[in-house]
Structure 1
Amino acid sequence: MVFNSFGFIFIFMPLLLAGYNLLLHFGYRRLAILFITAMSAVLYGMFNYKYLVIIGISMAVTYLFSYIIEKKSGDSSKSISIEKESGGSFKSISIEKESSGSSNSISIKKKVSPLIPAVAVLFHVAVLGYFKYTGFLVDNINSIFKTDYTFTAFLLPVGISFYTFSQIAFVIDRYRGEIPHYDFLSYAFYILYFPKIMQGPIAFPKEIIDQTRDIESLRFDADRFGRGIILFIIGLAKKVLLADTIALIVTYTYSQAYYLDTLCVIVAGIATALNIYFDFSGYCDMADGISQMLGITLPQNFNSPFKASTVQELWQRWHMTLSRFLTKYIYFPLGGSRKGAARTIINILIIFFISGLWHGAGWTYVVWGLVNGILVIFDHFHKHKLLPVKIRQVLTFLFFSFSVIIFQASDLTTAGVMIGKLSFFTYPGFLYRTAANLTLSETYVLEEAVQLFAPNMLNIYYFVLMMIVIAFSLFLMTRQNAREIAAKTTFKTWQIVALSVLACLSILSLSNVQTFVYFTF
């Protein structure tokens, strides 16, 4: 069950909010957390009950390694008692098995072998690799060695890339001593929490679990609840009114990749960038809104990325939790930018190679990641401030839009054909055919009127409609983002009316439920 569905909005969410707040009202904090965890498991299992088996095994292994780390570090804990003479010199130093309780005691824990977290991380990478990348690997082996091996994974669990990274974060943070060995309910809540399990954000354990410790912070708060509703409505509108509409252009252009003209390729690139943004950020806004209703704050995943004036800044604003995960657990351990220009370049390329591969099992994703890595490297070493900020913002958006042609294309050959059309201008008139796919229920009456009274103007009508949709979407990129709107809303009458109208329009568009782009990742 997805967020943009009648079942979720009118059945699942009301039941969840009612049961959760009722338990908190009577002071049952742990039961409330258990209730959300159980409901999250039910929601996730509704996609396919087998997903629960896979994630259950994954969770059991992670928690076992957390327990091993706790035993290895805790059982050999010793204390050093230091006694001083009145003059300040040391009188004696004694080492005991348990802490003496003295204020002069220093607790020392045995260093855990790095092999323990390494095995846990390799396990999760192997599970992810089996379900997501084995087919890709077999296809490449067949291509290189002219063999005919076959492999078909029986399923690809929804959100496996997201919860795998959450599991890895948990194991590494436990090894580093940044988090304790939480009770199993707290750990299960962190992994299964439904607003983030299927499509992120990739939250760190501490920032989610620690919020559930204080019952007062979780109790119903009308102002916070209202702002959560605002976030959910905006996110829903992004998905069903904008992303799903623009997807009509995207789907058609890539299905006709070899026949497109130059203007159509430009439209395809811009539409793809807008489609992915509204789809993914819409989900994150809805997840954020639901969490605020529950008294929990998720880390921000988008911060107006198309306002960035460099590609490097864009990736600091786009999918922020993935960027910080890769930075914390891979880029910094590799040395970051501390070991010279050559190592910095290599480290950045490694990060973007992994980012590309994380998005999908295909060379298009890998090349897309590396292209963005190269652009980030250029930004890292060249501070180009000669051009005005607005021009740099436009150029950054265009660079990203052309890069996602590689991301969206079915293969590198198709991507190459489309990008190649940008190098020489062609115009066989395919733009009108592209625009004609933008048939919307909201404009049905207007479309019928044009067909009836001015049939010769129908192509112009479709073209103008497409330009309005794209122009309006680009305009929204320059305005406040959903978090800013929710934070600044004062709940005036006109604001409530506007949000109500937006909610009604969005709900009326739910008849054709479309899954989210990042579900496949």
Structure 2
Amino acid sequence: MLFNSWIFLLAFLPVTLAGFFLLGRRSHFLAAAWLAAASLFFYGWWDLRYVPLLLASICFNYGCSTLLASGPAARRKALLIAAIGANLALLGYYKYAGFFVSSLAALLAQPVPALQVMLPVGISFFTFTQIAFLVDTYRGQVRERRFVHYLLFVTYFPHLIAGPVLHHKEMMPQFADRKVFRLSQENIAVGASIFFIGLAKKVLLADNLAPHAGALFNQPGEPSLLIAWSGVLAYAFQLYFDFSGYSDMAIGLSRLFGVKLPLNFDSPYKAANIAEFWRRWHMTLSRFLRDYLYIPLGGNRHGGARRYLNLMVTMVLGGLWHGAGWNFLIWGALHGAFLGIHGAWRSLGFCGQSAAWRIAATALTFMAVCTAWVFFRATDLPSALAILGGLYGGNGIALPDALARALTPVQPLLAAINVSYYLGGGAAFVDSWTWIAIAALLAFACPNTQQIMCLAEPALDAKPVINGLAWRPTRRWAAALAGLALASMLSLNRPAEFLYFQF
């Protein structure tokens, strides 16, 4: 069930909210159980056959965590390894078995029957969430252990399908807080405001950028410089506003129930280096990879060479987490290389502090990120390489013939850099770059959602950054957000899936 669908907005959400707060007056247990049952219904709306798989995973991991809470250290360690192995085996079968079979067939140059396995939506998110719970139980860091709260922690519908990746110490104590079960006008106002900002990002920006990205990636051919960049930038901003919008909607929906989720985005394209980018992009996944993979591998505790190896392993596995394919592996390896280069650059003391330096560093970081996005989005390696060739001038520069007259004053300059013209496509060219310009202005020059909502403590780890656009419960803000909500809801005639659903 999509957040940006009428069935969710007009049926599921109001019924779930009403049931939660009505039951909360009588029994906190019943209210939590209702919300968990509603979350399972939300998941089963996609495909009822996978609800038993989700419940089996939850019961298995809760049982293992109970056994991990006490006992001899050797037995607990062996159980932890076995439990993590079982989780990874489940994830590996559903997500990677087909990829490994096809790769083996290509390696052996022998026909192998294709393995058709349907990927359960959200399996990466609920698997990682539960692995973290097992590890923390083994470490003695889990305090809240009631099954209904664990069930709700894993299935909680605002995060179940595409994150954020939650941590038990952030969520389960909130489910035990009496204040959560009391309807709050403040939570409704703040939650609805954040939700509609996220909805606008999705339906007014991301969905309008999607056709311009698809025009390049679905049939790349041999794109010229501006065509390649328009498609890549359209995808970069589509992905940003799609996932950022989803994360805002998740935070807003959760706030309606009085529960705060962690931030997942903090204007990542404003980052001045690749390490800062990963502290701002998909923040909860970055945190998981750091705490449960990079640091256990040794982090930066064993010298420079080992640190760079740990970074590369972490990012390659992070790339494979996003999808089973060589493109995702290359995408992760590129980011591992970028992080290694950044670390070496910093160790040499080449980082400046001036405004001009930060602008140049931000532009370079954004170009590196966009280059890697080509592999993330392309359907196969030949397509990715063809787009990269156009992106960096390998196929020349071409403009629609319809623009030639408008560019008459600068024709000598264009001729000097070998700009050619092609027939047709002028309207599409202008439309594409117009949407890119709008998206770039919003991403680079405007405050993000948590900055706008800073006075309302929008998320668990949000820091107040007072600015001229700070939200307040006033009639002006109500009217502005009502207009944004109306424009967004008028665009829901054909709701599009969120990009991160496929991961």
1:464 CA displacement: 3.1
**Could you tell me how far apart the structure 2 residues matched to 1:480 and 1:8 are?**
29
Whether contact under 8 Å (1:243, 1:279) holds in the other structure is yes
Aligned with residue 496 of structure 1, among 475, 478, 482 = 478
2:38: which partner in 1? 39
SS at match of 2:491: helix
User: Which residue identity does 1:412 align to in structure 2?
Assistant: L
User: Which residue identity does 2:397 align to in structure 1?
Assistant: Y
User: Which residue identity does 2:451 align to in structure 1?
Assistant: E
Whether contact under 8 Å (1:261, 1:430) holds in the other structure is no
**Could you tell me how far apart the structure 2 residues matched to 1:501 and 1:19 are?**
29
2:112: which partner in 1? 149
Whether contact under 8 Å (1:356, 1:366) holds in the other structure is yes
List per-residue Cα deviations over 1:200-231 (Å, max 9, x = no partner).
Answer: 00011121101111212442221222111111
1:336 CA displacement: 0.5
List per-residue Cα deviations over 1:347-376 (Å, max 9, x = no partner).
Answer: 000110011000000000000111011111
1:414 aligns with 2:396: no
1:469: which partner in 2? 435
1:67 aligns with 2:30: no
User: Which residue identity does 1:500 align to in structure 2?
Assistant: A
2:176: which partner in 1? 213
Q: Unpaired runs of 5+ in structure 2?
A: 404-422, 455-469
**Could you tell me how far apart the structure 1 residues matched to 2:177 and 2:322 are?**
36
Whether contact under 8 Å (2:213, 2:234) holds in the other structure is yes
1:461 CA displacement: 4.3
SS at match of 1:375: helix
List per-residue Cα deviations over 1:331-359 (Å, max 9, x = no partner).
Answer: 11111011100000000001100110000
Between the two proteins, the alignment pairs up a number of residues equal to: 461
List per-residue Cα deviations over 1:253-288 (Å, max 9, x = no partner).
Answer: 112211321111111221111111111111110000
List per-residue Cα deviations over 1:173-217 (Å, max 9, x = no partner).
Answer: 111111047121111111100011100000111211011112124
User: Which range is displaced more, 314-323 or 476-485?
Assistant: 476-485
1:424 aligns with 2:394: yes
List per-residue Cα deviations over 1:397-456 (Å, max 9, x = no partner).
Answer: 1211121011111111111111122243523547989xxxxxxxxxxxxxxxxxxxxxxx
**Could you tell me how far apart the structure 2 residues matched to 1:129 and 1:259 are?**
36
**Are residues 517 and 480 of structure 1, via their aligned partners in 2, closer, same or farther at CA, if it must alter by over 3 Å?**
same
1:29 aligns with 2:17: no
**Could you tell me how far apart the structure 2 residues matched to 1:343 and 1:260 are?**
40
**Could you tell me how far apart the structure 2 residues matched to 1:321 and 1:511 are?**
32
Aligned with residue 262 of structure 2, among 282, 291, 299 = 299
Whether contact under 8 Å (1:27, 1:215) holds in the other structure is no
Whether contact under 8 Å (1:406, 1:412) holds in the other structure is yes
Whether contact under 8 Å (2:225, 2:398) holds in the other structure is no
**How do 1:43-192 and structure 2 match up within 5 A?**
43-72=42-71, 112-180=75-143, 182-192=145-155
User: Which residue identity does 1:326 align to in structure 2?
Assistant: L
**How do 1:64-463 and structure 2 match up within 5 A?**
64-72=63-71, 112-180=75-143, 182-383=145-346, 384-386=350-352, 388-421=357-390, 422-429=392-399, 460-463=426-429
User: Which residue identity does 2:439 align to in structure 1?
Assistant: S
User: Which residue identity does 1:483 align to in structure 2?
Assistant: Q
1:246 CA displacement: 0.5
1:482 aligns with 2:449: yes
**Are residues 390 and 431 of structure 1, via their aligned partners in 2, closer, same or farther at CA, if it must alter by over 3 Å?**
farther
Whether contact under 8 Å (2:218, 2:379) holds in the other structure is no
Q: Please, what TM-score do these two structures have when normalized by structure 1?
A: 0.85
**Are residues 60 and 261 of structure 1, via their aligned partners in 2, closer, same or farther at CA, if it must alter by over 3 Å?**
same
SS at match of 2:214: helix
**Could you tell me how far apart the structure 2 residues matched to 1:245 and 1:345 are?**
39
**Could you tell me how far apart the structure 1 residues matched to 2:497 and 2:477 are?**
29
Whether contact under 8 Å (1:228, 1:290) holds in the other structure is yes
1:492 CA displacement: 2.5
| Rg larger for | 1
SS at match of 1:114: helix
Whether contact under 8 Å (2:164, 2:262) holds in the other structure is yes
1:104: which partner in 2? none
Q: Please, what TM-score do these two structures have when normalized by structure 2?
A: 0.88
SS at match of 1:510: coil
**Are residues 31 and 430 of structure 1, via their aligned partners in 2, closer, same or farther at CA, if it must alter by over 3 Å?**
farther
1:94: which partner in 2? none
**Could you tell me how far apart the structure 2 residues matched to 1:217 and 1:200 are?**
21
1:507 aligns with 2:492: no
User: Which residue identity does 2:365 align to in structure 1?
Assistant: T
1:7: which partner in 2? 7
SS at match of 1:72: coil
User: Which range is displaced more, 367-376 or 145-154?
Assistant: 145-154
Whether contact under 8 Å (2:214, 2:231) holds in the other structure is no
Whether contact under 8 Å (2:50, 2:120) holds in the other structure is yes
Whether contact under 8 Å (2:312, 2:337) holds in the other structure is yes
**Could you tell me how far apart the structure 2 residues matched to 1:214 and 1:236 are?**
29
**Could you tell me how far apart the structure 2 residues matched to 1:425 and 1:432 are?**
20
CA RMSD, 1 decimal? 1.9
Q: Unpaired runs of 5+ in structure 1?
A: 74-109, 434-456
**Could you tell me how far apart the structure 2 residues matched to 1:111 and 1:210 are?**
30
- Taking only the aligned residue pairs, the percentage that are identical comes to 35
User: Which residue identity does 1:505 align to in structure 2?
Assistant: A
Whether contact under 8 Å (2:400, 2:425) holds in the other structure is no
Whether contact under 8 Å (1:270, 1:398) holds in the other structure is no
**Could you tell me how far apart the structure 2 residues matched to 1:432 and 1:211 are?**
59
